DNA sequence: TAGGCGATGCTCT
DNA sequence: GAGCATCGCCTAG
C-alpha cells in the first residue's frame, strides 16, 4: 500500500480538533527492512491547563518534547513497562498533545505479530502500550518531527486527497484520576480495534 | 468474555 | 514514598 505524507496545512493545531482529525489518518513506521502501518482509530486530547496532562507542572526532562512545536512525537514510559506515543499540538512551549491510543493494523502484520508475540489481530495494537510495541516505537523516536521524519510519520493512503472524516464518538479519558470527567477521548464508532471498556466505546 | 488485580520501574514530591 | 495517560493473567459465569 502506498501512502502520502500529511502536510502541516492539512492538520489543525488546536488540540481537541487535532485529536478528532487524526482519527482515520495513518501512522507509518519505517525500519531498514520493513514497513508497518495502521489507521489511527482512538485518541485522547491533553490540553493546556489540564491537571491530567504531563505538562501541567511545567517542563521537565521527561516531558520536554511535549513542549516542541506541533506534530512532533512525545514518547514516554509508563508503569515501568509500557511506552506511549503522542502527537504534539498548539505552538512551541504550549505543552499540549494528543495521545494515540489504538491503531487498526494495515501493513506489516507479520512483523507486528512477531513484536507482540501474538497472532491475534485484534490484540496487535489495541491500547497505547501495545501499539508502540507493534510499531517498535522506542524512546529514540521521542521528539521527532512526524511530518518529516523517515522512521515514523503521519500519512493518508495515497489514493486520497484528504483524510476521510469517520464517525467519531467521544468519551471520558481512560486510566486517569484528575479531570476524569472531561470528554476528551475520541474514537471511530464501531471499530473493533478501539481499546477500553465496551461501555465507553458504543 | 468480562472484570479484577498484581507486576513493574520511573518520575516527581 | 506515592502515584501512575498499562498490560496480561486469572477467575467467575
DSSP class of residue A6? P
Residues 131-150 of A with CB under 7 A from strand B: none
For A150-199, write each residue's pLDDT tens digit: 999 999 988 755 555 568 999 999 999 999 999 999 999 999 999 988 88
Tell me the domains of chain A and their CATH numbers: 3-193 (3.10.300.10)
Q: Chain-centre distance of CA A117, in angstroms?
A: 21
Q: What is the pLDDT of residues A54-77, one digit of tens each?
A: 999 999 999 999 999 999 999 999
Per the CB < 8 A criterion, the answer to whether A123 and A105 are in contact is: no
Q: Of A49, A174, A42, whose CA–CA distance to A104 is shortest?
A: A42
CB of A81 under 7 A from strand B? yes
Strand C nucleotides, any atom under 7 Å to a protein CB: 3-8
Q: Is the CB of A176 under 7 A from strand C?
A: yes
Distance A197 CA to C13 C1' (A): 18
Nucleotide closest to A96 measured between CA and C1': C5
- Which has the closest alpha carbon to A99: A116, A75, A133, A80? A75
Q: Phi/psi class of residue A37: alpha, beta or left (left: φ > 0; alpha: ψ in -120 to 50)?
A: beta
- Record the cell numbers describing residue A32, joined without a space: 531498514
pTM of the model: 0.95
Instruction: Report the C-alpha dihedral over residues A135, A35, A115, A131, rounded to 10 degrees.
Output: 20
Amino acid at each position: 500500500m502506498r501512502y502520502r505524507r500529511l502536510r502541516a496545512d492539512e492538520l489543525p493545531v488546536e488540540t481537541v480538533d487535532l485529536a478528532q482529525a487524526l482519527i482515520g489518518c495513518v501512522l507509518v513506521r519505517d525500519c531498514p527492512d520493513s514497513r508497518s502501518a495502521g489507521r489511527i482509530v482512538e485518541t485522547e486530547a491533553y490540553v493546556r491547563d489540564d491537571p491530567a496532562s504531563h505538562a501541567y507542572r511545567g517542563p521537565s526532562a521527561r516531558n520536554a518534547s511535549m513542549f516542541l512545536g506541533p506534530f512532533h512525537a512525545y514518547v514516554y514510559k509508563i508503569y515501568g513497562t509500557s511506552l506511549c506515543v503522542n502527537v504534539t499540538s498548539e505552538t512551541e512551549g504550549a505543552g499540549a498533545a494528543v495521545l494515540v491510543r489504538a491503531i487498526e493494523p494495515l501493513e506489516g502484520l507479520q512483523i507486528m505479530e512477531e513484536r507482540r508475540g501474538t497472532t491475534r489481530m485484534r490484540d496487535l495494537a489495541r491500547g497505547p502500550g501495545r501499539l508502540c510495541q507493534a510499531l517498535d516505537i522506542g524512546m529514540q523516536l521521542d521528539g521527532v518531527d512526524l511530518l518529516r521524519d523517515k522512521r515514523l510519520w503521519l500519512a493518508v493512503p495515497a489514493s486520497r486527497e484528504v483524510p476521510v472524516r469517520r464517525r467519531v464518538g467521544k468519551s471520558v479519558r481512560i486510566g486517569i484520576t484528575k479531570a476524569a470527567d472531561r470528554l476528551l477521548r475520541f474514537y471511530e464508532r464501531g471499530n473493533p480495534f478501539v481499546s477500553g471498556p465496551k461501555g465507553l466505546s458504543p
